[in-house]
């Protein structure tokens, strides 16, 4: 699970997790990597430095969640507000994993859900991908056995075909072509989406982004030719939020760009709201 802000300056041992390293491919030439001190170097000579915090930036410059958004998310998740969702995701993702399994978290953020999964499947390895280096600084230290790389999920992934036993996609862009390619035959795809009622009580006070009521229908339709649905679970969590918690839950995602500070400043009392999610589990078809 996420360890909170106190770990931000913690030392990160040199070395990328071997299973994750073996799954990576150079984004320039698709050659395999090997570790050379604090760098990953492919057989063609392309080299990428491992940051002091442990992640590797394979995409160069890019965009992603800001440091402020990442801090808000880390503080909110570390308080345990979404712990029931993390347990459910971990239960589904860690089910029947082999000893040397690889779990790819596409859009890992701070690594909160990937860490929960590895805590349940101790012998597995995690590979977290995200565009936000601010988030990856935390993800790389969220749990032993996580390799974290900066990458744009809309581009072909720097991961070998059939390398992943499980792919997790939690509130993140879904590159279904790459999910199908990177998953092994009969591999598992775990997708988490917000329900249309998610945090609906907050909308009484704040003009937040709406969640599409047809989201699940469109999700199933987009996946039906390459994946089969094997399970679906609703997850509702009643939350008691102080004003600072409301600030964090708004600023940890896209609403950070849409909700004016004045709207949040007007909330000065404790609110009871419901977080509502849907966890969908799919099997990769040949």
Known binding-site residues for S-adenosyl-L-methionine equal 82, 110-111, 198
* Rounded-to-integer distance, Cα 219 and Cα 166, Å: 18
CA distances from 86 to 80, 107, 182, 199 (A): 9, 15, 23, 17
Structure token pair of residue 243: 């004003």
Q: Residue 190 CA to chain centroid, in angstroms?
A: 11
Dihedral of CA 173/230/145/249: which sign? Answer: positive
Binding residues for Zn(2+): 26, 29, 42, 46
CB 166 within 8 A of CB 98: no
């Amino acid at each position: 699970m996420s360890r909170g802000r106190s770990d931000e300056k913690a030392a990160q041992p040199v070395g990328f997790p071997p299973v994750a390293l073996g799954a990576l491919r150079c984004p320039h030439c698709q050659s395999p990597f090997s570790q050379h001190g604090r760098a990953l170097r492919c057989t063609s000579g392309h080299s990428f430095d491992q940051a002091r915090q442990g992640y590797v930036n394979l995409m160069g410059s890019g965009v992603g969640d800001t440091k402020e958004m990442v801090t808000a998310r880390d503080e909110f998740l570390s308080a345990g507000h979404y712990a029931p969702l993390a347990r459910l995701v971990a239960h589904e993702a860690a089910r029947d994993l082999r000893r040397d399994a690889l779990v790819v978290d596409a859009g890992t953020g701070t690594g909160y859900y990937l860490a929960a999964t590895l805590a349940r499947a101790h012998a597995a390895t995690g590979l977290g991908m995200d565009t936000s280096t601010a988030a990856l600084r935390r993800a790389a230290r969220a749990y032993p056995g996580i390799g974290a790389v900066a990458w744009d999920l809309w581009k072909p992934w720097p991961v070998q075909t059939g390398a992943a036993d499980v792919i997790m996609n939690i509130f993140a862009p879904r590159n279904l072509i790459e999910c199908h390619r990177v998953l092994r035959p009969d591999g598992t795809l775990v997708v988490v989406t917000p329900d249309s009622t998610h945090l609906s009580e907050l909308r009484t006070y704040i003009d937040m982004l709406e969640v599409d009521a047809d989201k699940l229908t469109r999700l199933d339709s987009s996946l039906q030719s390459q994946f089969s649905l094997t399970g679906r679970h609703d997850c509702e969590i009643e939350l008691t939020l102080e004003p600072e918690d409301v600030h964090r839950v708004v600023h940890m995602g896209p609403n950070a760009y849409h909700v004016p500070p004045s709207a949040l400043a007007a909330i000065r009392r404790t609110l009871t709201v419901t977080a509502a999610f849907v966890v969908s589990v799919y099997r990769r078809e040949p």
